[in-house]
Structure 1
Amino acid sequence: MLARLKAFFAAEAASSRQGNHESHELHVAAAAMLVQAAMSDGQVDPVERERIAVLVERHFGIPNAEVQEILRESESRAEAAVDIFSFLRVVNDHFDHDERIMLIEMLWDVVYADGVLDDYEANLIRRISGMLGLTDVESGTARKRVLARRENGADDSDATHPLDSGQATDQA
């Protein structure tokens, strides 16, 4: 009986610790991947940084003040990281298939933010897609959705007034 009580309280403590801390770490890992994609051409343009903030706010429903904190932390971690694998592991452990596709779409969105797709950026996204268990077709479809929004002049840069949520996440 005592063992069951200890197990119960240990499980309760673990679940309460995981809540916000775990989601914060997940958001930082995903944002760090976006930062690394922006850095893959040698620099993070201000337009790419702003796009990352908008995407994090829109897709994760995070208030702007917290987005700025996540962005600072993710930039610091991305700059210090030797590779992207630690961030990939966090995402692979917590994102389902559709969320992984959403992340690839976010990556395409960031690398197109400055209007130029660099070969290093495209290569990075292709490698990340494979490591997330996504096909080239799924990545290509996500890329096409981003390009279609850009061609249609859809301006969703204000995350408090994003595009129709169905349009932003459709899995065509």
Structure 2
Amino acid sequence: MFDRIRQFVEELTSAQPSERELGDTELRVASAALLVHVAEVDGFFSESERRALLLLLQQRFDVSEAQAQELMEAGRRSDREAVDLYGFTSVLKDALSLPERRRMVEMMWTVAYADGELAEFEENVIWRVSELLGVPSRDRIALRQKVRGDFGLDPLAPAPWDINAGESKA
């Protein structure tokens, strides 16, 4: 299994990806890598984010906790070796239907809110990934509001960096 993961990472980071048949491992590692990226992009990978990420992987791929842990570590390695997010999003966009890609965006919001806070970097990554996955902006925003509501937060409240956006500096 690790040979396939290593091969997948090499293909993602190479200048010319080889022709290959998308396998379940590639889909899982790409998903895990994006979730890890969201969790780590603000410089903190909290315990609550780790637990949420593992639970999401277990539920999404119907794997054990140990398998989810292995998948998270494979995703972490892939994310660290990747030069951008396109390699992961292209795998997912080709393999998943629009409802499945929406579910991926929802999973990313869940990881981002798992620590009770949303960092601007997390929101930016989710926005970029949503665009690359072909998930419409209205769906991305609706999913954000849904997850905020699921966490008991005001679904319509702006992010802290949005509050002062309309004010001019004196």
Structure 1 runs of 4+ off > 3 angstroms?
none
Instruction: Write the deviation string for residues 69-96 of structure 1: whole angstroms up to 9, x where unpaired.
Output: 1111111111222211111111111011
Q: Tell me what 1:167 maps to.
A: none
Q: Whole-Å Cα distance in 1 between the matches of residues 40 and 103 of structure 2?
A: 20
Quick check: 1:148 aligned with 2:137?
no
- 2:36, 2:75 within 8 Å by CA — same for their partners in 1? yes
Instruction: Write the deviation string for residues 122-145 of structure 1: whole angstroms up to 9, x where unpaired.
Output: 111111111111111101111122
Q: Give ranges in structure 2 of 5+ residues lacking alignment.
A: 1-20, 154-170
**What is the number of residues matched between the two proteins?**
134
Structure 1 counterpart SS, 2:115 = coil
Quick check: 1:66 aligned with 2:101?
no
Instruction: Write the deviation string for residues 101-132 of structure 1: whole angstroms up to 9, x where unpaired.
Output: 00000000001011111111111111111111
Q: Tell me what 2:13 maps to.
A: none
- TM-score normalised by structure 2 residue count: 0.74
Q: Whole-Å Cα distance in 2 between the matches of residues 46 and 75 of structure 1?
A: 15
Percent of paired sites with the same residue: 33
Q: Whole-Å Cα distance in 2 between the matches of residues 151 and 60 of structure 1?
A: 26
Cα shift at 1:52: 0.6
Q: Tell me what 2:76 maps to.
A: 75
Paired AA for residue 67 in structure 2: E
Q: Whole-Å Cα distance in 1 between the matches of residues 44 and 94 of structure 2?
A: 29
Aligned CA-pair RMSD: 1.8
Alignment of 1:2-151 (within 5 A): 22-151=23-152
Structure 1 counterpart SS, 2:80 = helix
Q: Whole-Å Cα distance in 2 between the matches of residues 23 and 72 of structure 1?
A: 16
Paired AA for residue 115 in structure 1: G
Structure 2 counterpart SS, 1:151 = coil
Larger radius of gyration: 1
Cα shift at 1:43: 2.4
After superposing the two structures, state which structure 1 stretch, 61-70 or 89-98, moved more: 61-70
Q: Whole-Å Cα distance in 1 between the matches of residues 43 and 31 of structure 2?
A: 20
- 2:33, 2:76 within 8 Å by CA — same for their partners in 1? yes
Paired AA for residue 146 in structure 2: R
